[in-house]
Amino acid sequence: MAEPDRLHQINLGYSPEEDRMLLRINTTGKTEYRLWLTRRYVKMLWKLLTKSVESLPDVRAQAAPETRQAVKSFQREEARQTADYSKDFEDSEAKRPLGETASLLTGVRATAGEKGTQLTLQTKDGRAINLNLEKKLLYSLCDLLISSTTQAKWNLDLKADETPAAAEPEQDGPVH
């Protein structure tokens, strides 16, 4: 029986020309997905990810806010130590089911799954990419969002210790 296609690498970078983030996802089956993320969808994604961190069993089990914060800090540091940011993104012979150019992200949803967070990314043309983010990947994606939005100077002020209650409320407005 063949092994299922799993998430292998995530890359997130800012494009000043587009004023968007380019999210690149690579799987063990050599499939690459490229998505443009607007500032608005980065804010939405951040809110979902921080809620997902809060719902992790080890975090949720703590009654005191200080203890929850300590558990999150420990888990985040553990994820950082095991992540390998030195490897180049592997894209040489990847299949690109969304096409050669990046697709615009137009929807994002997160649900609790058996082995972590099930993240669904929807594109402008109606396609969806489902990612299973176990704890380490969840924290790594949070770190990538923090560093990329800082580089982009989007003034989102994302913080690793942020809780969903501290997240800025979503405002209706134009989407670019």
Asked whether 145 and 42 are in contact (CB, 8 A), the reply is yes
Specify the pTM. Answer: 0.83
Domains of the chain, first to last: 7-151 (3.30.2450)
The sign of the torsion formed by the CA atoms of 72, 87, 123, 38 equals: positive
Asked whether 119 and 2 are in contact (CB, 8 A), the reply is no
- 29: confidence class by pLDDT, cuts 50, 70, 90: confident
Beta-carbon contacts of 99 under 8 Å, excluding residues fewer than 6 positions away, are: none
Beta strands (DSSP E) in the chain are 7-15, 20-27, 32-37, 103-113, 116-123, 128-133
How many whole angstroms separate alpha carbon 131 and alpha carbon 115? 11
Question: What radius of gyration do the chain's Cα atoms show?
Answer: 16
How many whole angstroms separate alpha carbon 106 and alpha carbon 111? 17
Which one-letter amino acid corresponds to residue 136?
K
Beta strand 32-37 with 103-113: parallel, antiparallel or unpaired?
parallel
pLDDT at 159: 86
pLDDT digits (tens, 9 = 90+) for 72-121: 999 989 988 887 766 777 777 789 999 999 999 999 999 987 778 999 99
pLDDT at 166: 43
Q: Is 23 helix (H, G, I), strand (E, B) or coil?
A: strand
Answer whether residue 163 shows pLDDT above 60: no
Answer whether residue 66 shows pLDDT above 70: yes
> Tokens representing 39?
């500032």
